[in-house]
Each structure stands twice: as structure tokens, then as C-alpha cells.
Amino acid sequence: MFVTSAPGKVIIFGEHSAVYYKPAIAAAASSLRSYLLIETENITTNVLQLSFPNLKFQHKWSIENLSQLTDTHSLQSKTLSQSLLQTIDTALLSDIVNPLHKSAAQCFLYLYLSIIPPMHRSSLKCTLISTLPVGAGLGSSASVSVVLSQAFLKLAQCTLSPTLINEWAYVGEMVMHGKPSGIDNTIATYGGALQFIKDDPQNTKELFPKKPIVAILTYTRIPRSTKTLVSNVRVLYESMPEIVEPILDSMAHVALKGGDALQEAKLDDVLQLVRINHGLLVSLGVSHPGLEIIRNLTTELQVGETKLTGAGGGGCALTFLNNSASEQDVAQFRDTLNQRYDYQTFETTLGGIGCSLLDLNQITNKEQISAILDLFNSQNASMEQIDNNLLPGGPADLPWKI
Ligand SMILES: Nc1ncnc2c1ncn2[C@@H]1O[C@H](COP(=O)(O)OP(=O)(O)O)[C@@H](O)[C@H]1O
Ligand SMILES: C[C@@](O)(CCOP(=O)(O)O)CC(=O)O
Ligand SMILES: [Mg+2]
């Protein structure tokens, strides 16, 4: 039995422009994570079981059926095979109608069938719990792709390396989104803070901010689809390239300057650039009145600057506080968002631990193991319970391998 874990991410500068090969800055939201429990013993034989309690979704497939369907596996091929995707859809997922269930199961089966060769396919139960809001712009899909890739590579007896995990997680992201930039899976794998350029590892580099980056994340609970928003921007780009290209170039300058400002802890510059980046995103049509509420309240209470983060259209906003924001101001800001609008706010330190692995056989304390298993078996474990019992570097002090 083992658990894999990976964080969500916050794009600080350059969402959407990242898809067009422009530099972007992102950091791990390392306390908001997905955790995948892998059980291979004392479970139903010759069955692959999936349990995603956050989505209230469970499913089972006979391993024999799966192997008949795809008797060859494509461990070498880290590109998206439309024919495998089609086979999965028609033969294994035709009974699933909920779109969230469908995309999660597609990603799960695609990675399972591609990574684990038939000789290593035996009875398996996979249970995934997460403290990340689903579909909110904090990279839950990438975090899920990373924990699945890491676990399946281990079951396939591959030597685990961050490069390999990240490559497969990108395939998982392609299953969910088509052609993403790859920034989310890269952060979920490596953790920390990065300046990222799509398909350009030479110019993707780690950032070392002088001061820890503390920010407030606000989840509007407004659902949206990354895939749709990215494709709306594509349509705009293709219809007015002479206008959209300079906006994307401007976002690239914002990201490069913003990365430097974060490293040098130049808060005034960071705040200006957050405001500019949000304005550019508004011009691309990816904001939402519910996000503007947060931005307007930040201005009204003069606590700092806010931008949308992730694909926008709902989901989450990121707020950096200015030095003059008092504790009362910040409390008023958060209380108003929580109480008047039913938004959820988190104070988060950005950066920290990327993907990690916990071998439950190494834990000798039986009570600790049963507390961990209870979290996966419960349908509604709270964020606090998960953090207390599982968070890498958290109070339970577990032997996570990074
Ligand atoms: N806790 C979870 N359990 C199972 N699947 C999840 C979970 N969280 C996210 N997902 C998958 O990720 C998808 C959301 O991804 P996406 O729209 O890109 O939003 P995000 O900004 O959170 O990455 C969901 O439809 C689901 O397939
Ligand atoms: C809009 C985009 O820049 C980020 C999307 O992030 P999320 O799925 O909303 O967490 C797309 C991408 O980088 O592939
Ligand atoms: Mg995503």
C-alpha cells in the first residue's frame, strides 16, 4: 500500500499567454493537494477499482476485459492517441454521463492502459482525495494527473524520476484539455516557483523569491471549463491576431518583470503588475462578474491588488496584500467575501513541496495507518483532518519521499 501526492498551482502571471509560448510565472500551492491511495491486497480479485469521493464517483472494470481491449501498451508513446481515447470512450465509459466523472475516468484509464503493461496489471484499488477545489483554476486536473502517473509508473516498476512523471502527467492533461501549456503539471511535479515557457525546458527556470510569497486565494464557486475558456481565446486570437498578439506580448513582459519583482521582493512592482495582468485578461474576455466583485472589493478596501488565476470565467482569484493593509482590513475583506458572497478564502504561502510518495508499509504506528485509511474511506473527510494526518511536512511528520 502506498500513497502518492501532488500540489495544486497558482499562476501568478501569464495564464492563457502561456499557451502561446509566452513566459509565465507559477508556484505550487503546496498545502492544497491531491492524495492517491493504491491498494493491491485484500481487495476484489482481477478488478480495477476507482473511487473518487470528491466527485461522488466510483467505477470497476474487469482486468481481463481491459487487457482484451488493449493487448499492447504504449509506454514509449507520450503523445495523445486519439484511437486509444476513442476505444476508452466507446468500450469503457459509455454508461458515464456526468462530464466531471467522464473526464476524470478518461484520464485515469488512459494513463493506466498506457503506463502499466499487461504483465503488471493485477487487482488494484485506487482512491483519490483532494483538498483542492475541483475545476477552480488551481490545477486540480494536473495534480490528479501527477498522482496517477507517479503511482502507475511505480506499479509498472519503472524508475521514478520527476521528468518521467511530468511527461506522463502532461499526457493526462492533454486527455482533459486538448493542448495545454504544461505549466500546471510541471509545477505539480516539481513544486517551488517557476518561470515557465511551453516546450522550452532551457528557458524554464526555478525562481527563488527573497521573501516567502503569501497570498489570499478566493474561490468564487463559479464553475467553468478550462477547455472552453482556452478555446474562446483561440477563436479571438484567430479572428483578430493583430490585436491579440500585442496583448499576449504585453503579458509576456508582465511575467518576466513580475518574476524579477518576486525574486527581489519588490512588492510595489508586483502589485502594479498584478493589476495590469488582470486588465489584459479582462481584455481577452476571460473574467467574470463574480471575479470582478473580488477585484472591486480589494480596491474599495485598499488592501492590495487582485487578478484572476488559472483559466478564469469563475474559479479563483489571487490577491497580494499591500504593506498598509491592517489585520482588520484583511479580516473585513475575507469576511465580506465569505459571508456576503459565500466565497471561500484561503491564505496560502506559495511554493513548497512537489510530488511525493509515502510507503505505508514503512509506518509502524498502526493507529496512524488506520487514521490515514479512514480519510480515504470516508466520503467527507475535512480539509483539516486531511492536513493533520497526511500533509507532507505537516503535523503527522510522515516519511514522505520527495
Ligand atoms: N478530487 C478529484 N477527484 C477526481 N477528479 C478530479 C478531482 N479534482 C479534479 N479532477 C479532475 O480534473 C477536472 C477539473 O480540471 P480543470 O477543468 O482543468 O480545472 P482545474 O483548474 O481545477 O485544473 C475535473 O473535471 C476532474 O476530471
Ligand atoms: C489558461 C491556462 O493558462 C491555465 C489553466 O489553468 P486551470 O486549468 O484553470 O487551473 C491554460 C494552460 O496553461 O494550459
Ligand atoms: Mg486544469
- ipTM of model: 0.97
Q: Which residues of 232-370 form beta strands (DSSP E)?
A: 304-309, 316-321, 344-350, 356-359
Instruction: Judge if the beta carbon of residue 181 lies within 6 A of ligand 2.
Output: yes
Using CB distances shorter than 6 Å, the residues near ligand 1 are 52, 54-55, 100, 103-104, 128, 130, 134-141, 144, 176, 225-226, 310
Ligand 2 center–CA 14 separation, angstroms: 10
What's the pLDDT tens digit per position in 387-402?
999 999 999 999 999 8
Mean pLDDT of 183-201: 96
Non-local (6+) Cβ contacts of 341 within 8 A are 220, 290, 293
Residue 290 has pLDDT above 80, yes or no: yes
Residue 76 has pLDDT above 80, yes or no: no
> Of the candidates 392, 372, 397, 387, which has an alpha carbon nearest to the alpha carbon of residue 37?
372
pTM of the model as a whole: 0.94
Q: What's the confidence (pLDDT) of residue 150?
A: 98
What is the C-alpha to C-alpha distance for residues 70 and 92, in angstroms, rounded to an integer? 12
Residue pair 176/144 in contact (Cβ under 8 Å)? The answer is no
Distances (CA, A) of 304 to 215, 221, 254, 291, 342: 10, 22, 18, 15, 21
Ligand 2 center–CA 63 separation, angstroms: 34
Number of helical (H) and strand (E) elements in the chain, helices listed first: 14, 12
Q: Whose CA is nearest to atom 5 of ligand 1?
A: 104
What's the pLDDT tens digit per position in 218-264?
999 999 988 899 999 999 999 999 999 999 999 999 999 999 999 99
What is the C-alpha to C-alpha distance for residues 329 and 199, in angstroms, rounded to an integer? 42
Mean pLDDT of 206-229: 92
Q: Which residues surround the ion ligand 3 when the cut-off is CB under 5 Å?
A: 141, 226
Instruction: Judge if the beta carbon of residue 173 lies within 6 A of ligand 2.
Output: no
39 conformational bin, left if phi > 0, alpha if psi -120 to 50, beta if neither: beta
Q: Whose CA is nearest to atom 13 of ligand 2?
A: 181
What's the pLDDT tens digit per position in 3-35?
999 999 999 999 999 999 999 999 999 899 999
Q: What's the confidence (pLDDT) of residue 154?
A: 97
Mean pLDDT of 357-383: 94
> Of the candidates 7, 391, 392, which has an alpha carbon nearest to the alpha carbon of residue 184?
7
Q: For the chain, give the percent of residues with pLDDT over 90.
A: 86
Cβ atoms within 10 Å of 232's Cβ, excluding its own: 18
pLDDT band at 380 (very low <50, low <70, confident <90, very high): confident
Which residues does the annotation mark as catalytic? Answer: 184
* Residue 16, C-alpha cell as written in the block: 492563457
Q: Output phi, psi for 27, to 5 deg.
A: -140, 155
* Residue 293, C-alpha cell as written in the block: 466583485
Instruction: Judge if the beta carbon of residue 18 lies within 6 A of ligand 2.
Output: yes
Ligand 3 center–CA 104 separation, angstroms: 11
Instruction: Judge if the beta carbon of residue 184 lies within 6 A of ligand 2.
Output: yes
Ligand 3 center–CA 226 separation, angstroms: 6
Q: What's the confidence (pLDDT) of residue 214?
A: 87
Q: What's the confidence (pLDDT) of residue 72?
A: 56
- C-alpha triplet 94, 154, 139: angle, nearest 5°: 60
Q: What's the confidence (pLDDT) of residue 224?
A: 92
Instruction: Judge if the beta carbon of residue 16 lies within 6 A of ligand 2.
Output: yes
Share the mean pLDDT of the chain: 94
